[in-house]
Structures are given as structure tokens and as C-alpha cells.
Amino acid sequence: MLLSGSGSNFAAIAAAARDGSLPIEVRAAVSDRPAAYGLERARALGIPAEAVPVRDFPDRAAHDTALAARIDAYAPALVVCAGYMRIFTPAFVARYADRMLNIHPSLLPAYRGLDTHRRALADGARWHGCSVHFVSDELDGGPLVAQAPVPVLPSDTEATLSARVHRAEHRLYPMVIGWFARGRLRCQGGRAALDGVPLSGPVRVEGLYGEV
Ligand code: GAR
């Protein structure tokens, strides 16, 4: 799993793997940031954790090459981006084509990039949420797999909205990874398919955000 920050999605996925609800082995947490709290969470669970610091490499291509070498050392069937906040080179994306997932805190294609909660609030959006997609060359733009809508309340701040979206992420991401692990989800020719049926749009999973 790749992460840059707090690693709450990492923790949710690792917990589901540990309690047996998700039939996967989390092989490692790898970060671009040595100080990422997600690495500490991984170590506490006995999961290998390591950083490939950006500052050790002259450019993005060299960093991605080193990152790929560390990933490949664990021979994962699936690369899971869980709050990994750097843009990949096309060569890196091609290497993990059809076997790299990302979660993004918006109902894509709305609010690609950063500060999604602030932008949704500024727009007066009534619904926000999160999306899981296969990674392509387009930033936050690969084939969509699933989305969890989350209501925006008039009283919301960035913090309260972010917390509600995180609750949905922590349930949506293990669900989608489970589909992949059980052979139900595939990506071929730039299109995601579930149970052999190409998806014409993301699967919408309602009500994952818990109590509002
Ligand atoms: C999550 O909200 C995830 O959707 C977002 O970073 C956060 C990581 O939280 N990812 C992106 O914005 C990728 N474009 P976490 O470290 O607590 O899992």
C-alpha cells in the first residue's frame, strides 16, 4: 500500500484483512514521506513499512523507479494508493496498469486534485463523497469503480465534512479491494468490469458515512 499521510485508510484495510473480512495479505506500507504517520501504524501492526524519500532523488522519474523497485520487492497482486499524494510518471502507471487502485475524496469527475472538501463547501454542494478508481495517466481520472455519496450539512466545516467522507472511505475501499481480491473486479482496455460486466459508470454505494 502507498501512503503519504495519516494512513487511516491503510488502517481500515489492514483491520479488515486482519479480522478475515477481506481475503488479502497487506504486504507493506511504502511512503514518499519518512514521517508519515501511516508508516507508524503499519509497524504497530507488524506490517513492513518503509519510505522512499523524494529528496534522495534528482527527479520524479528516478523517484518513481526507486519506488517501483521497493514495491516489486513485495510482489503485490494489487497496488493500493491510500492517500499517496504525488503524481506518478507515465512509466510508473504503465508498470502497474490494471492493478493499481486509488481513492479520492470527491465524487469524480468533480473536484480532482487538492482541497476537495473546501471546494465542495465553497460551491454550496449538497452532496460530496469519495471515489475508487483504477489509476491512469490522467490525474484522478482513471476508470471509476465505485463511489460513496456523502451529504453536506449546512453546519459543516472542512473538518466535519472530511471526517464524514473518511468514514465512507474506510468502508468503500475495503469493499472494492475485496471485489478485486475475489476476482470479481478487473480492469481491461481502460475499462473496469465487475462480475464480467463492463461498468458504464461507478457503482454507487449509499449510506456508508454512518451517523451524520
Ligand atoms: C483520503 O481522504 C484520500 O481520499 C485522499 O487522502 C486522504 C488520506 O487519508 N487522497 C487523495 O486526495 C488522492 N488524490 P488517510 O491518510 O487518513 O488515509
Nearest to 9 by CA among 127, 170, 158, 144: 170
pLDDT of residue 49: 98
Atom of ligand 1 nearest to the CA of 162: 2
Angstrom CA distances, 72 to 64, 80, 116, 188, stand at 12, 13, 32, 21
pLDDT of residue 19: 97
Question: Residue 55 Cα, ligand 1 centroid: separation in angstroms?
Answer: 22
Atom of ligand 1 nearest to the CA of 166: 2
pLDDT of residue 76: 98
Evaluate whether residue 171 is within a structural domain. Answer: yes
Q: Which domain holds residue 60?
A: 2-204
Evaluate whether residue 212 is within a structural domain. Answer: no
Atom 10 in ligand 1: which residue has the minimum CA distance? 83
**CA angle, 76 as apex, 91 and 64 as ends, to 5°?**
30
pLDDT digits (tens, 9 = 90+) for 181-198: 999 999 999 999 999 999
Measure the CA–CA gap between 111 and 118, rounded to whole angstroms.
10
Region 159-171 average pLDDT: 98
Domain containing 42 — which CATH number? Answer: 3.40.50.170
List residues near ligand 1 (CB under 6 A).
3, 5-9, 38, 82-83, 103-105, 130, 140, 166, 169
Atom of ligand 1 nearest to the CA of 38: 16
pLDDT of residue 212: 83
Evaluate whether residue 71 is within a structural domain. Answer: yes
Measure the CA–CA gap between 36 and 41, rounded to whole angstroms.
9
Mutational test site, ligand 1, from 40, 144, 166, 208, max ligand atoms within 8 Å of CB: 166
Measure the CA–CA gap between 136 and 174, rounded to whole angstroms.
20
pLDDT of residue 126: 98
Spatial contact of 7 and 83, defined as CB atoms under 8 Å apart = yes
Evaluate whether residue 161 is within a structural domain. Answer: yes
Evaluate whether residue 50 is within a structural domain. Answer: yes
Region 200-212 average pLDDT: 95
Question: Residue 42 Cα, ligand 1 centroid: separation in angstroms?
Answer: 16
Evaluate whether residue 64 is within a structural domain. Answer: yes
The identity of residue 173, as a single letter, is: Y
Is the full-model pTM beyond 0.85? yes
Q: What's the structural domain count of the chain?
A: 1
Question: Residue 104 Cα, ligand 1 centroid: separation in angstroms?
Answer: 6
Measure the CA–CA gap between 155 and 158, rounded to whole angstroms.
10
Atom of ligand 1 nearest to the CA of 104: 4
pLDDT digits (tens, 9 = 90+) for 50-72: 999 999 999 999 999 999 999 99
Evaluate whether residue 211 is within a structural domain. Answer: no
Across-strand partners of 29? 49
Active site residue 166: no
Q: Is residue 151 classed as helix, strand or coil in its secondary structure?
A: strand
Evaluate whether residue 210 is within a structural domain. Answer: no
Atom 6 in ligand 1: which residue has the minimum CA distance? 83
pLDDT digits (tens, 9 = 90+) for 99-140: 999 999 999 999 999 999 999 999 999 999 999 999 999 999
